[in-house]
């Protein structure tokens, strides 16, 4: 009976004992990832920029359900803040096993009118912050460590105009992950990118002027929910994904077909 209970615990909480940092985890896709990983048993620290109330509510929700969570205020545009978030997580949980780079930003405009300040902000948040977080996390990741970055299917497909800089940043994420997978493979650390298609969040509602056109580009004819992306992250964080590395996994409802 004891052995059966132990096996059931492992199945229901496959990430028990793991320690995770999720950047940009207070809302939308990030909050979905935090909830799923906490439900699977990992202790989760997550960063937020301005959504303090949402972050505190999510932390309380997970702790009330018997999980471990810790919200860290850190703007991913600030490299020192990103390094600090990694350090705080390691101190809080006495180590780190899984890094999920989720924080991101976007801006759309014709390339000839694209503000340089927006270009620099997108690159800082979507690319530099991932590099900085990985660099800070590596001394603490052992064999079995996981680095998972949230990219975008728009890195591979360009159905809309005026998003070239965003697409550039997400293509960079995929390239960084592929090459890091080669370099970190000998250490037993896997590096993967998840590339979502359209996901319904408060910043990207499944309603409005262009929604029907976006839906028509997917094979399933609908937006994803944050949990759909979180499920993919949870798999890549588990032991069952040990032979998956350097992958760009489209979780897009057939958007890129």
Catalytic residue positions, numbered: 166
Query: At CA 55, angle to CA 42 and CA 203, rounded to 5?
Result: 110
In angstroms, rounded to a whole number, what is the distance separating the alpha carbons of residues 67 and 61?
9
Query: At CA 83, angle to CA 227 and CA 72, rounded to 5?
Result: 50
- C-alpha R_g of the chain: 18
Could you please report the per-residue DSSP string of 109-126? --GGG--HHHHHHHHIII
Structure tokens at 43: 């202790």
Give the list of residues 6+ apart from residue 170 with CB closer than 8 angstroms, or none.
Answer: 126, 151, 152, 154, 155, 195
- Distances in Å between the Cα of 69 and the Cα atoms of 56, 59, 98 are 10, 5, 14
């Amino acid at each position: 009976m004891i052995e059966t209970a132990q096996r059931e615990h492992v199945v229901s909480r496959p990430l028990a004992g793991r320690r995770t940092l999720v950047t940009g985890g207070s809302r939308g896709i990030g909050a979905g990832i935090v909830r799923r990983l906490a439900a699977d048993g990992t202790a989760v620290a997550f960063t937020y920029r301005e959504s303090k109330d949402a972050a505190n509510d999510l932390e309380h929700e997970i702790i009330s359900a018997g999980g471990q969570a810790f919200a860290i205020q850190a703007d991913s545009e600030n490299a020192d803040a990103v390094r600090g978030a990694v350090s705080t997580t390691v101190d809080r949980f006495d180590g780190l096993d899984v890094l999920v780079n989720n924080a991101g930003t976007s801006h759309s405009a014709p390339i000839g009118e694209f503000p340089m300040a927006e270009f620099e902000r997108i690159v800082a948040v979507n690319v530099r912050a991932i590099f900085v977080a990985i660099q800070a996390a590596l001394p603490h990741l052992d064999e079995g460590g996981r680095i998972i970055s949230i990219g975008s299917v728009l890195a591979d497909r360009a159905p809309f105009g005026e998003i070239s800089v965003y697409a550039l940043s997400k293509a960079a994420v995929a390239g960084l992950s592929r090459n890091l997978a080669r370099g970190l493979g000998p250490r037993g650390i896997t590096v993967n990118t998840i590339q979502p298609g359209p996901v319904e969040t408060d910043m990207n509602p499944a309603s409005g002027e262009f929604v029907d056109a976006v839906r028509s580009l997917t094979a399933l004819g609908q937006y994803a929910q944050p949990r759909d992306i979180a499920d993919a992250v949870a798999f890549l964080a588990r032991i069952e994904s040990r032979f998956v590395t350097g992958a760009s996994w489209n979780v897009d409802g057939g958007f890129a077909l």
